[in-house]
Each structure stands twice: as structure tokens, then as C-alpha cells.
Amino acid sequence: MQRPLEKIRVLDFTRVLAGPYCTMMLADMGAEVIKIEKPGHGDDTRHFGPFQNEESGYFIYLNRGKKSMALDLKNPHAIEAIKELVKQSDVVVENFRPGVMKKLGLDYESLKECNPGIIYASISGFGQYGPYSQRPAYDLVAQAMGGMTSITGHPENPPTRSGASLGDMSAALYAAYGIMAALFHRERTGEGQLIDVAMVDSIFALLESNVMRYTVDQIVPERIGSRHPISSPFDIFKAKDGFVVIAVANDSLFNKLAAVMQQPELAEDPRFNTDPLRTKNETELKAIIETWLNSYSVEEAVKLVSEAGVPCSPILTIEDICEDEHTNAREMLIEVEHPVAGPIKIPGNPVKLSRTPAVIKEASPSLGEHTEAILKDVLKWESARLQALEGQKV
Amino acid sequence: MQRPLEKIRVLDFTRVLAGPYCTMMLADMGAEVIKIEKPGHGDDTRHFGPFQNEESGYFIYLNRGKKSMALDLKNPHAIEAIKELVKQSDVVVENFRPGVMKKLGLDYESLKECNPGIIYASISGFGQYGPYSQRPAYDLVAQAMGGMTSITGHPENPPTRSGASLGDMSAALYAAYGIMAALFHRERTGEGQLIDVAMVDSIFALLESNVMRYTVDQIVPERIGSRHPISSPFDIFKAKDGFVVIAVANDSLFNKLAAVMQQPELAEDPRFNTDPLRTKNETELKAIIETWLNSYSVEEAVKLVSEAGVPCSPILTIEDICEDEHTNAREMLIEVEHPVAGPIKIPGNPVKLSRTPAVIKEASPSLGEHTEAILKDVLKWESARLQALEGQKV
């Protein structure tokens, strides 16, 4: 089956997480992604756990379906090879600190001379311009500087990082959307362009209405745990052996909850008989619900409450969700075959396209697996030029 | 300046957050987005705060640059109008519960008969198929069922929701990327297709290497607060008047930190002289650092530690980041003029395209503002047919 980005070639200078996840989304859609890696060492994540037969699961997941060229960016012959490749490519993606690609002579201004239609995406912590653009980019810093950390966690605890690297992942997603928009524009006009995406901007862009509460009402949103800002009981509650989500946003649902708790009087209680009152007296209400839940396991509670017509769910662990039948039905965990690691399960693509689905067949490449083939077959280099590259360790 | 999606028309049946954010990303890129709203009431978020001159800031932000048609989907003349519009449109986006559009006769199978090239994107809580597809879609549930909640928060506290609606926002982002891929495919082949994106799949897709730890090593990642799983001190620390991020991932940075703390002996301390040892003895080390930080304000600490060459940052509140010079330089907060609300500040687009930037000029439409103009100018309806629609309240 055809995938949407077939015949699109991406030169991929990215490392670690944000950049590789972005180019993974292009590879999933059928682009030929050529990953340029440091000879001998490769992407740092080749050395990150977890390992299966000494191959990194982290690397295999993020670099599935890509090709690898080992090229020493300090070797002028390697730079020549890259510039020749740019002439035959559509997209360049990089996530070095701003300025590094320029020092290497591989910035947008240099590469568009080789190919004016090239689309060049840079992902960084703070962006290519702005007062903080030279600051180092860790996800923890991006979440903190982007405003997310200040509103995550319980009020009595410190501000809290979200459990996954949202700075990297969201920047990758915004960049993929930007690259797609630029590809569409180029298809219609032939024009290329530069795309600049910052992790900290991406985190800020995820804050949704929290920003409007400040710009309109000068309210500074704070940490409120897992509860809903204006509805109650809409929170995470403790049952006998774990936690459950109960989501009640109106009186009718609250009546149903009170009934299943066999405390129908709660629905008439002057502390709890409207949504604003329930929110005002949320602490008392939570204590009553948790006292009741104390007699039930999570499984029992979710069954009882859901059957009463009240939205309710368990909190799945990573194990739970990986083993869940819905995850399986949605192909959100798929198996690829790696020549060394063997069969390995990696996350699928959440975008289900009916005609051109993201078919993920191949695992990640070994370091430099395609160096020679690309030099010979795409660039038509002959043995003398190949030898000139030999000075580098591959 | 031209934007990439100019001349692309989107029929937008979405409500609340995930769908409207997706079509907002299409509108930012220049698409003509026609929002179909319930006469009299409109999108629920028109009634959500914060309000400025009785207009919802929430709605203005998410629906900037769109048009509004008020159409009663139970009126057969409205359905006729929609089917005629589909013939002249490129994309349909909806986020009803699976099955609702089919009941209305507006599912993909029905609409592709009007226009075989139509791209039809559905965003939902659990997707269009799979055992849970009929479950209600709240962000709290999507985060909990997608695995994010189980790994967010401090180990001694309950699992914790991320402070922003990541289920909605990530599903919107994945859908925008999918729509862009489908538009690119259609540009080359003329073929349309159906796109199915679930909030719970999108959350799962953000978990990055947490999934690999389970599939490779059967480790179930748990809540570890804000600290780094394998490096230390890489965490959020308490200073005199707030919290700071300090990110040390190797011995050389730790030497610098120990020096600025005027406790150079820490770098030689057998509890702390390697990264694995620092992680093993993280609690003790954190106490030492926080004792030192207790003499400094956040501002002083960030200045001292950063100047010593150690990555360090404050934790910005929503107010801090909205007032920050970097946010301003990056145009991440922009002002639009709403005819009733007046000037209002809303978040910008984090994707900075050099040639076809996301120029955001217009605020949101009033309910039904474009109904008549579109019926007359696009569909060429004459007065008799317009009158047939009059039975509906607008």
C-alpha cells in the first residue's frame, strides 16, 4: 500500500529524542529518512537502555524505518557528500544547539544554495532567535520554563514534571505538522523554507485555556492536583487497592453516583446539591467518596460506578496499557524484527489513515548500514572518492 | 504573505477542545475553516469563561480565523446545505462520539459519495473501533487510560493528571499531522480518505521510552516526581522563596555545582562521586542542596548556578511566562481584535515558517456570522431555499 510521503527524501541530522521522533513520524508516513550519524558512536541513544541482545530498544523504537549513514561532519569530503545529497533531497531536519549547523557550513542559508526548494526544520530548546536561544535544552527545563510544571502536581507538593518528555514530544509533533505544511506549499509552488520550532514554545502552546485565564482575568493558574477546576466530584480517588477516576460534571450524574453509593441523601445535602457547592466543599465530598471506596477494589468500583452510568475508569500502569485489548485492537503496540535484537515490541502510530496507513515494517538500521550504498547508488561516487572518505572511522 | 493551506476549505463540526484546536492549526496555516454550530447555542465553549465583555476568551482563542455557520443538523435543508458544501470542500473534521455523524447521515461513507476526494478526520476519546470506542472522552480519563497519569507525580502521592489537557491537545496535533499527510497525498493522487485519531492512543504515543522499558525489560515505570531516572542531581529543588531546576548529568557539572556551593568536598565524597552513586544517594544529596539553597532566592540561585556553567532555571508561572521577554520575542502571545471583546491576547503558533508564516489576524466569528453569505455566495442558494432553512433558530 502506498504511504503519503513516498518519494520524499529526508536528511536527518537529529539526535536523542525530539528530532528523531519528528523524523520517525515522517518515516512512518513513507518518507525515506537518511540519518547522518557520527562514525564509531552514532546517535547517543544507541547507548541508552533498555537493551535487547545489546541493542538499544530506545534507539530501535525512535529510528524504525530509517537508513543510517556514518559521516564525520569535520571531514570535508563528508560535507561534500551531504551537499550533493541535499540536491536530491526534500527535507533537512536537525536538533543541534542553534549555531552548530552554521559552524559546519550546513545551515539553511548554505544548503538552499545547493537546493532552493529544500525545507529545513530546526528543533531546539528555546528556538533559533530570542534572548534565551543559546540556553541548553533539557525536557525538565522546557517544561519548567514553558509553564507546564507550575500547574502540574498537588498544591501541597512542589511543582511537578509530567512523567513523559512532553517538551521533546510536542516540539517533534509541531515540527512534523510544520514540515507537512511546508511540503504541501512546495508541492504547489516549488518554494522551500526554514522552520524553527522550540521546545519551550511547544510546551507553552499546550497550556490551552490556562493562558486565557491570565490574559483575560489576570488569574495565575496553580497546581490543583488531578481535580477539575469547576466541577466536582471530577478527580482521582483512592479505592481499597488503588486509584479510580470518577468524572461527575452535573447534578444528574451526581444523583446516580449518590444512588450507587447507597447514600441518596447526598444529592439533597445542602453542601453538595449543585456543582459549584460540590466544588466549594470538594474536600469533604472527596473524604465521603473515599470512605465508601475503601470497601471496594478498583475493579469492583469501576464496574459498579460505570454500570450506574457515571463516567469512571481505572488508572492504567504502563504494563496494564501494554497488555490491554484496546491497545492491541488499535495496533498501538506492534512488533518489528531487528536483525540483532530479534523481535521487539514498539509503540505504533496513533494516526489511523484508511487509504495510506502508516505501515511500520522495518526496525532501525545499524550504524552506517547505508553509507556506501547511498554514496554509490544515489550520488554515483566512484572508488577514488569513496577512498577519500576512508580517513573517517565508520 | 501566502500561507500554505490557502484555498483549502475545511468543514468543521468540532466542539470544545480537541477538534477546535486541530482546526485552529489548519486555520493558522491559511485554510478557510467553516465551523458548523448549533443555532442559538453554538459551541459549548462560547459559554465557558474567562469572559471579556461577555465574550468567551476560551472560544476566541480556539476559534480565531474561522467562519461560523449556524445549522440545525436535524433540519433536512441544513443537511442538504452541508452535502452541497462538501462538494466544494477539501477536509471535514468532527469530534462527536463515534456513531453520531452516521446517525446524522454525515459519516465518511455518506460524504464521500458527494466528494470522493474528501479527507474526513474523526477525533474521539477511544477511536472509531476497538472495545472501548463507545466510552465517553474526558481528558482526565484519556490521561489515566493512556498511561500518563500512572507515571506523573511524586511516589508518596496519588497518580497525577498533567496540568493541561494533554489528551485533547495531543489528539489535535496528531490529527493535524494526519490531515496534512492526507492533503499531500491527495495533491499527488486526487484520493481522499478517512482519518481516525483517539485521545487515549495519542497519550500512549507520548509516553516515549517508558513503553520500551516495559516491552524489553518488563519494568513498569512508576512515579518518580520530577527527578531524572538515571542522573542526579537532576530535579526540582526548593530555594528560599520558590523552586529551581538544576540539571547535572555528569561528574564535570557536579564538580562545578559543588564548587559554587562552596562544598568542593562533595565531588570527592564516596556517596556522590559518580552519577550512579549520586542517583543511589539522591535523597541525601537533595537535602544537602536544599539546605544550601535555603539561603538564596530563586533569582539569586539561578544566577549563581547558571554562571557556574551548570544548567539551571526557575519554574515559570503562567504569569511569568506570559510576561517574559522571550515569549514576546517568539510571538507566542499575540493580540487580536474581537468586535465585542475588544483587543485580547491569545497564544501564538509555535511553528515558525520563514516563507509562509502562520499570520493570525482575525478573532473568532460570532455565532452564524457567515451562514447567509456562504449559502448565497458559495452555494448560490436563492431566497426560496434560504427561507426553507428559516424554521431553525439562528
Quick: pLDDT tens for A2-16: 899 999 999 999 999
Beta bridge partners of B235: B246
Alpha-carbon gap: B106 to the closest alpha carbon of chain A (Å): 17
Beta bridge partners of A352: B196
* C-alpha cell read off for B343: 483587543
Nearest to B149 by CA among B159, B138, B139: B159
Which amino acid would we find at residue A77? Answer: H
Q: Cβ contact (<8 Å) for B158 and A58?
A: no
pLDDT at B3 over 60: yes
Residue of A nearest to B21 (CA): A208
- Compute the mean pLDDT over every residue in chain A, rounded to the nearest whole number: 96
Residue showing cell 528543533? A123
Which amino acid would we find at residue B201? Answer: D
Q: For residue range B272-287, what is the model confidence (pLDDT) as tens digits?
A: 999 999 999 999 999 9
Helix axes of A18-28 and A166-189: crossing angle, nearest 10 degrees: 50
Report the residue from B195, B207, B215 with minimal CB separation from A345: B215
Residue showing cell 502540574? A152
Burial class (CB in 10 A: 0-12, 13-18, 19+), A259: middle
B228 touches chain A (CB under 8 A): yes
Nearest to A246 by CA among B140, B123, B14: B140
Residues in A closer than 8 angstroms to B234, CB to CB, are 138, 140
Whole-number Å distance between alpha carbons of A319 and A236: 20
DSSP A75: S
Q: Cβ contact (<8 Å) for A205 and B163?
A: no
B155 touches chain A (CB under 8 A): no
Whole-number Å distance between alpha carbons of B347 and B229: 32
Whole-number Å distance between alpha carbons of A269 and A233: 14
Q: Cβ contact (<8 Å) for A193 and B354?
A: yes
Q: Name the band, by pLDDT with cuts 50, 70 and 90, for residue B294.
A: very high
Give how far the C-alpha of residue B39 lies from the chain's centroid of Cα atoms, to the nearest Å. 27
β-strand pairing of B342-347 with B333-338: antiparallel
Residues in A closer than 8 angstroms to B194, CB to CB, are 353-355
Whole-number Å distance between alpha carbons of B338 and B53: 10
Residues in chain A: 394
Whole-number Å distance between alpha carbons of B224 and B229: 8
Residue of B nearest to A151 (CA): B163
A350 touches chain B (CB under 8 A): yes
Nearest to B300 by CA among B255, B249, B244: B244
A210 touches chain B (CB under 8 A): yes
Report the residue from B163, B192, B325 with minimal CB separation from A131: B325
* C-alpha cell read off for B279: 542517583
Residue B391's pLDDT is 64
Helix axes of B18-28 and B166-189: crossing angle, nearest 10 degrees: 50
A158 touches chain B (CB under 8 A): yes
Q: What strands lie across the sheet with B242-247, from one edge to the other?
A: B234-239, B242-247, B312-314
For chain A, count helices (H), then strands (E). 17, 14
Residues in A closer than 8 angstroms to B349, CB to CB, are 205
Residues in A closer than 8 angstroms to B162, CB to CB, are 148, 152, 162, 166
pLDDT at B366 over 70: yes
Q: Cβ contact (<8 Å) for A180 and B175?
A: no
Between CA B258 and CA B268, with CA B263 as vertex, the angle to 5 degrees is 70
Q: Is B41 a catalytic residue?
A: no
Residue of A nearest to B354 (CA): A194
Residue showing cell 485519531? B197
Whole-number Å distance between alpha carbons of A120 and A211: 30
pLDDT at B393 over 60: no
Q: Cβ contact (<8 Å) for A184 and B149?
A: no
Residues in B closer than 8 angstroms to A160, CB to CB, are 152-154, 160, 225-226, 236
β-strand pairing of B312-314 with B242-247: antiparallel
Q: For residue range B297-348, what is the model confidence (pLDDT) as tens digits?
A: 999 999 999 999 999 999 999 999 999 999 999 999 999 999 999 999 999 9
pLDDT at A136 over 90: no
Q: Cβ contact (<8 Å) for B148 and A132?
A: no
Half-sphere exposure of A13 (CA within 13 A, CB side): 26
Q: Cβ contact (<8 Å) for A159 and B211?
A: no
Residue A1's pLDDT is 67
- Which residues 159-198 in chain B show a CB within 8 A of chain A? 159-166, 168-171, 173-178, 180-185, 187-189, 191-198
pLDDT at B1 over 90: no
Interface test with B, best of A47, A230, A346, A352 (most B CBs within 10 A): A352
Residue of A nearest to B202 (CA): A350
| Catalytically active residues of A, by annotation | 228
Whole-number Å distance between alpha carbons of B143 and B151: 10
With b meaning 16 or more CB within 10 Å and e meaning fewer, what string describes A353-371? bebbbbebeebbbebbbbb
A314 touches chain B (CB under 8 A): yes
Whole-number Å distance between alpha carbons of A103 and B139: 44
Q: For residue range A40-52, what is the model confidence (pLDDT) as tens digits?
A: 999 999 999 999 9
Q: Name the band, by pLDDT with cuts 50, 70 and 90, for residue A154.
A: very high
Q: Cβ contact (<8 Å) for B160 and A152?
A: yes
With b meaning 16 or more CB within 10 Å and e meaning fewer, what string describes A64-99? bbbbbbbbbbebebbbebbbbbbeebbbbbbbbebe
Which amino acid would we find at residue A165? Answer: S
Residue A383's pLDDT is 87
Average pLDDT over residues A130-151: 95
* C-alpha cell read off for A163: 512523567
B86: left (phi over 0), alpha (psi -120 to 50) or beta: alpha
β-strand pairing of B119-124 with A9-12: unpaired
Q: Name the band, by pLDDT with cuts 50, 70 and 90, for residue A393.
A: very low
Whole-number Å distance between alpha carbons of B4 and B351: 13
Task: Tell me the Cα Rg of chain B.
Answer: 26
Residues in B closer than 8 angstroms to A146, CB to CB, are 316, 321
Backbone angles phi, psi at A171, to 5 degrees: -60, -40
- Compute the mean pLDDT over every residue in chain B, rounded to the nearest whole number: 96
3-state secondary structure string across B131-160? CCCCCCCCHHHHHHHCCCHHHCCCCCCCCC
Per the CB < 8 A criterion, the answer to whether B20 and B309 are in contact is: no
Give how far the C-alpha of residue B361 lies from the chain's centroid of Cα atoms, to the nearest Å. 20
Q: For residue range B14-23, what is the model confidence (pLDDT) as tens digits?
A: 999 999 999 9
- For residue A283, how many other CB atoms are within 10 A of its CB? 8
β-strand pairing of A67-70 with A91-94: unpaired
Q: Name the band, by pLDDT with cuts 50, 70 and 90, for residue B211.
A: very high
Structural domains present in chain A:
9-206+325-391 (3.40.50.10540), 234-319 (3.30.1540.10)
Interface test with B, best of A215, A222, A227, A303 (most B CBs within 10 A): A215
Q: Cβ contact (<8 Å) for B131 and A192?
A: no
3-state secondary structure string across A339-391? CCCEEEEEECCCCEECCCCCCCCECCCCCCCCHHHHHHHHCCCCHHHHHHHHH
Alpha-carbon gap: B282 to the closest alpha carbon of chain A (Å): 17
A356 touches chain B (CB under 8 A): yes
Residue B389's pLDDT is 83
Whole-number Å distance between alpha carbons of A194 and A134: 19
Average pLDDT over residues A49-75: 97
Burial class (CB in 10 A: 0-12, 13-18, 19+), A53: exposed
Alpha-carbon gap: A391 to the closest alpha carbon of chain B (Å): 31
DSSP A135: S
Whole-number Å distance between alpha carbons of A325 and B264: 54
Per the CB < 8 A criterion, the answer to whether A332 and A31 are in contact is: no
With b meaning 16 or more CB within 10 Å and e meaning fewer, what string describes A314-349? bbbbbbbbbebebbeebbbbbebebeebeebbbbbb
Active-site choice (B228, B326, B338, B370): B228
Residue of A nearest to B213 (CA): A50
